[in-house]
Amino acid sequence: MPVPAQPGEESTDPRRRIPRTDHLLAHPAVAAASGTMGERVVRDLVRAVQARARAGEITPEQVQDEVLAALGDRPAGSLRPVLNATGVLVHTNLGRAPLSPAAREALRDAAGYTDVEFDLATGARARRGAGARAALLAACPDAEDALVVNNGAAALLLATTALAGTGEVVLSRGEMIEIGAGFRLPDLIASTGARLHEVGTTNRTHLVDYTDALGPGTGCVLRIHTSNYRIIGFTSEVPLAELAGPCRDAAVPLIADLGSGLLAPEALLPDEPDVATALRDGADVVVVSGDKLLGGPQAGILLGRADVIARLARHPLARAVRADKLALAALEATLDGPVPPVLDALRTVPAVLRERTARLAAELDGTVVPHAGRVGGGGGAEVPLPGWAISLEVELAGLLRIGDPAVVTTVQGGRCLLDLRCLPAEDDERVARAVAIARSRAAGEVDR
Ligand SMILES: *Cc1c(COP(=O)(O)O)cnc(C)c1O
C-alpha cells in the first residue's frame, strides 16, 4: 500500500518525497509491529530508514518497503538462536548449557507471577526456591542443605566472604586461576576485603603447607579445581580427603570450588571432580556452576553442611547474589527432568555420531574427518572427546553464522568443520537447509 503523496509534496528535491513518520507509523503492518516492539523502537527504526533516504542510500519510494522489511517478524530481543556445530559442549560465548525441553517449559511457566516465595496452601510467605533446593538435595543425598545464587563466581564470593569473616582464606598457589575474560578468582575473593593466605608453589603444594598456615587467623580453606588448564610433570596436590581432617580439627571450614557441576563421577571425564565425592571426602561446602556440566541455567550452587549453608544464607551478600525465579525454575526442572542436553552430547556414542555425520556429509557433498569435541567453559580441562565433523568449503563459515538460524562452526586447516555432537539429531535437517542457503548465497543467487 503506497503512502499517498501529501499536498505540496511534489518538488524537485527528492527528499521532499520521503514518507512522513506519522504516515509510516499508521501503516497497519507497522502499527502491528508495535505489539512485539515498543513504540520507541519502531519509531527509531522508521527514522533510521528515512535517514538512509535523505542520505541518498535508498530512494524515497523504497522507504516504506525498507521499513516493512526491517520490521519483518523481528522479535523484541536481539539474541538469536544458534546451532552449535563447534563440538564444544559448554561454549561460554554461546550461552553455555542449552536447557532441556523440561527446563524451557518451566521457564515459560515461571515467567509470569509464580509462587517462588509463597505457600499457596497457607497463603504465607515461604522459603524462596524451595523446589530447586529440594531437587538439589534429592540429586545430592550427601548434602545436608543447598543454596542457589546467581552464578559460580557469586557462590565462591559468598562462601569465602561469609566463612572467612575477618580471617584469612588459605589457598594453594597452584589454584590461583583466571576463569576467562581477565577474571581471576583470587582477585574476586580479595575484592570483598578477604585476605588471601597463599600456600605451596605453582606446581607443588603439600599437606604441611596447609597445616602450617592453619591458625587463629584462618577464616577458611579454599580448594579450587583448576578446570581450564592442567599442570603436568613434577606436581603434587593434597587430596581433599587428606585436608579435611586437619581443617575439622582446627574448626576451619573447607570450601571446594569444583566449577563444572558434575553431581556424581562421570566415566568419560575421570579427572573431573564431582559433588558427591567432594562432600564424602569432607568438604564442608561445595561450589558449582549451574550452566556447565550440570546442564542447567546460569546459577551458582552451594551444597554442604546445614550450619554452613545457614551461615551463607544469612549473610547480607546472599541477598545481592540471589538467583532469579527463572533460574530457579529451570534448575529444578533440569535436576528432576531427563538427562540434560550437555550430558547427552558428552555421552554421544562415537559410532552413532559417525553414522549421523556420514549421512549428512553425503547429503551435503562434504567429507567426514576426525574432529575432537571438548567440554569447554571451564570443565574437562581440554580433554578431547573423540568424534567426527563434516568438512565443507571454508567460505561457508561466515555465511552460516549470519544465517537464520545462525550456525557456528569451526574453521581449521582452511576448511569449515561442522561437528554435530552438540546438536540433537532433529536439527540435521535445519543444518542441511542452512548449508544449502549459505551455498546459494556464496554463489550470489540470494543477495539478502
Ligand atoms: C566456571 C568456574 C567458576 C565461575 O563460575 P561461573 O558460573 O562462570 O560464575 C568458578 N570456579 C571454577 C573452578 C570454575 O570452573
The range of the structural domain enclosing residue 372 comes to 82-90+344-442
Give the whole-angstrom CA distance, residue 210 versus residue 141.
Answer: 29
Q: How far is the CA of 265 from the centre of ligand 1 (A)?
A: 18
Residues 249 and 377 reside in one and the same domain: no
When divided into structural domains, the chain yields a total of 3
Cis peptide before 28 (omega within 30 of 0): no
Phi, psi for residue 226 in degrees, rounded to 5: -80, 80
* Residue pair 438/406 in contact by the 8 Å Cβ criterion: no
* Residue pair 390/368 in contact by the 8 Å Cβ criterion: yes
Mark residue 88 as left, alpha or beta (left: phi above 0; alpha: psi -120 to 50; beta: remaining).
Answer: beta
151 Cβ closer than 6 Å to some ligand 1 atom: yes
| Residue carrying C-alpha cell 540434560 | 340
In this structure, the residue with its CA closest to atom 6 of ligand 1 is 152
Give the whole-angstrom CA distance, residue 230 versus residue 422.
Answer: 24
Return the amino acid letter for 158. Answer: L
Residues 279 and 386 reside in one and the same domain: no
Q: How far is the CA of 305 from the centre of ligand 1 (A)?
A: 21
Q: How far is the CA of 180 from the centre of ligand 1 (A)?
A: 9
Last residue of a domain, one of 321, 337, 353: 337
pLDDT of residue 2: 52
Kindly report the CATH number assigned to the domain that includes residue 434: 3.90.1150.180
In this structure, the residue with its CA closest to atom 15 of ligand 1 is 259
| Residue carrying C-alpha cell 547427552 | 344
Q: How far is the CA of 291 from the centre of ligand 1 (A)?
A: 10
Residues 168 and 313 reside in one and the same domain: yes
Domain-located, residue 3: no
Domain-located, residue 175: yes
Q: How far is the CA of 15 from the centre of ligand 1 (A)?
A: 55
pLDDT of residue 228: 76
Domain-located, residue 19: yes
Domain-located, residue 374: yes
Task: List strand residue ranges (DSSP E) for 53-120, in order.
Answer: 82-84
Q: Are strands 415-418 and 388-393 parallel, antiparallel or unpaired?
A: antiparallel
In this structure, the residue with its CA closest to atom 2 of ligand 1 is 259
Q: How many H helices and E strands in the chain?
A: 18, 15
Phi, psi for residue 70 in degrees, rounded to 5: -65, -35
Kindly report the CATH number assigned to the domain that includes residue 301: 3.40.640.10
Residues 164 and 205 reside in one and the same domain: yes
For the chain, what is the HEC assignment? Answer: CCCCCCCCCCCCCHHHHCCCHHHHHHCHHHHHHCCCCCHHHHHHHHHHHHHHHHCCCCCHHHHHHHHHHHHCCCCCCCCCCEEECCCECCCHHHCCCCCCHHHHHHHHHHCCCCCCCECCCCCCECCCCHHHHHHHHHHCCCCCEEEEECCHHHHHHHHHHHHHCCCEEEEEHHHCCEEECCEEHHHHHHCCCCEEEEECCCCECCHHHHHHHCCCCEEEEEEECCCCCCCCCCCECCCHHHHHHHHHHCCCCEEEEEECCCCCCCCCCCCCCCHHHHHHCCCCEEEEECCCCCCCCCCEEEEECHHHHHHHHHCHHHHHCECCHHHHHHHHHHHHCCCCHHHHHHCCCHHHHHHHHHHHHHHHCCEEEECCEECCCCCHHHCCECCEEEEEECCHHHHHHCCCCEEECEEECCEEEECCCCCCHHHHHHHHHHHHHHHHHHCCCCCC
Q: Which residues contact 388 (CB under 8 A, 6 or more apart)?
A: 353, 354, 357, 358, 368, 369, 370, 371, 419
Domain-located, residue 77: no
Residues 157 and 303 reside in one and the same domain: yes
The residue whose CB lies within 8 Å of the most ligand 1 atoms, and thus the one to mutate among 227, 271, 302, is 227
Residues 64 and 135 reside in one and the same domain: no
Bridge partners (DSSP) listed for residue 118: 125
Last residue of a domain, one of 282, 314, 337: 337
Of 336, 180, 152, the closest CA to residue 260 belongs to: 152
Report the atom number in ligand 1 closest to the C-alpha of 92.
8
Residues 414 and 367 reside in one and the same domain: yes
The residue whose CB lies within 8 Å of the most ligand 1 atoms, and thus the one to mutate among 148, 184, 289, 294, is 289
156 Cβ closer than 6 Å to some ligand 1 atom: yes
Residues 332 and 237 reside in one and the same domain: yes
261 Cβ closer than 6 Å to some ligand 1 atom: no
Domain-located, residue 75: no
Residues 156 and 185 reside in one and the same domain: yes
| Residue carrying C-alpha cell 606446581 | 203
| Residue carrying C-alpha cell 546472599 | 318
Give the whole-angstrom CA distance, residue 430 versus residue 296.
Answer: 24
Biggest CA-to-CA distance, the chain: 91
pLDDT of residue 381: 66
Q: How far is the CA of 48 from the centre of ligand 1 (A)?
A: 41
Domain-located, residue 176: yes
pLDDT of residue 10: 52
Residues 123 and 165 reside in one and the same domain: yes
pLDDT of residue 4: 55
pLDDT of residue 448: 45
Last residue of a domain, one of 337, 370, 394: 337
Walk along the chain (448 residues) and give the pLDDT tens digit of each residue.
455 555 554 557 888 999 999 999 998 888 887 677 888 888 999 999 999 999 999 999 999 999 988 887 666 678 999 999 999 999 999 999 999 999 999 999 999 999 999 999 999 999 999 999 999 999 999 999 999 999 999 999 999 999 999 999 999 999 998 887 788 888 988 888 889 999 999 899 999 999 999 999 999 999 999 877 777 888 889 999 999 999 999 999 999 999 999 999 999 999 999 999 999 999 999 999 999 999 999 999 999 999 999 999 999 999 999 999 999 999 999 999 999 999 999 999 999 999 999 999 999 999 999 999 999 876 666 789 999 999 999 999 999 999 999 999 999 999 999 999 999 999 999 999 999 999 999 998 655 4
Residues 117 and 63 reside in one and the same domain: no
Domain-located, residue 2: no
pLDDT of residue 194: 87
Report the atom number in ligand 1 closest to the C-alpha of 300.
7
Q: Are strands 195-199 and 168-172 parallel, antiparallel or unpaired?
A: parallel
pTM for the full predicted model = 0.90
b/e sequence 128-142, b meaning 16+ C-beta within 10 Å: bbebbbebbbebbeb
409: three-class secondary structure by DSSP: coil
**Residue 138 grid coordinates:** 534429592
Cα 69 to its chain centre, rounded Å, is: 32
CA gyration radius, the chain? 27
Residues 275 and 393 reside in one and the same domain: no
